[in-house]
Amino acid sequence: MKRYLRALAHAVSVGALVCLCSLCIAGDSFFYYAHDLPPFAHEEGGHLDGFAIALVRDICDRRGLCAQIEMFPFKRALLTVSAENPQNSFLLLARCPDREADFKWVGPVFKSQVFFYVRRDLRPKANTLADLHDVAIGVHRGNRDHSVLQAMGFTNLNASDTQTQTLKMLAAGRVDATPMSEAVFPTAARDAGLNPDLFERSEVQLYTSELYFGFSTRTTDSVVEAWRNALATARTTGRYDAIHRQYFPGRPPEPPK
């Protein structure tokens, strides 16, 4: 808890916390621990933007909920919500069996396919996952790609703190391939200052990713249900689709389960 309070005080001091609604009812304030994952969340010139940011803001504005956002490295955000477990805190992450008991889940928020990307001019000879044991793979430290590959026995992994850093390593030839969501890749490349045409998607798929809001287990069931209902309302009213079109033009949203 002390680490949580120190981190929170630091964020306030540097202006990293942004209130996403005009009115907060006492006891109903939430903390969204976002991580750099364009186009879902990123910070530029002190301004926070992205699909997940816009969705949370819309839910807050329309449902009378309140959330403050703090940008953390993914692994730190994961540990803050799951291990330190502050009440009414959440982050966006892939739902998978090894995380199931660590969060209360709201979603799915987004679904996409994760493929390996390579440099177009230096593509390795890799047609299957097994072939990738012989090349250097760049991964985003602590995210699901990292844990899935480790569970598969891959030891040839080079971890970075963000996916944009991983793409820069790929562009520089320091790694040969990196797994990434099809939805994330174009924006991540541009945010890294790279031309997406420098790379190409291989035919090797790692998995299908479903992103959820993962709430701390200390958050009450009634509060989590309120967020589930708010997300469902955003879908049925067309607000979800409107926000989706803004950040993923030309890509139709996946229907919820």
- 69 or 138, which is more confident: 138
Q: State yes or no: pLDDT of 21 exceeds 90.
A: no
Least confident of 21-25, 179-183, 219-223: 21-25
Domain boundaries, the chain: 2-101+213-247, 112-209
Mean pLDDT of 210-238: 94
Least Cα distance to 185 among 212, 217, 163, 160 occurs for 163
CATH class (in words) of the domain with range 112-209: alpha beta
Amino acid at 182: E
- Cis ω on the peptide bond leading into residue 252 (within 30° of 0)? no
Of 15, 10, 230, 18, nearest in space to 106 by CA = 230
Q: What is the CA radius of gyration of the chain?
A: 18
For the chain, the 3-state helix, strand and coil shares in percent, each to the nearest 5, are 40, 30, 35
pLDDT digits (tens, 9 = 90+) for 49-61: 999 999 999 998 8
- Give CATH for domain 2-101+213-247: 3.40.190.10
E-assigned strand segments in the chain:
18-19, 29-34, 42-44, 47-49, 66-71, 89-94, 104-119, 137-140, 157-160, 178-181, 199-215
Please give the model's pTM, rounded to 2 decimal places: 0.79
Structure confidence at residue 256 (pLDDT): 65
- Per-residue tokens: 39: 């186009």
- Of 22-31, 83-92, 173-182, 241-250, the range with the lowest mean pLDDT is 22-31
Answer yes or no: same fold for 2-101+213-247 and 112-209: yes
Eight-state DSSP code of residue 41: B
- The residues facing 209 across adjacent strands are 112
pLDDT tens string 107-152: 999 999 999 999 999 878 788 999 999 899 999 988 889 999 999 9
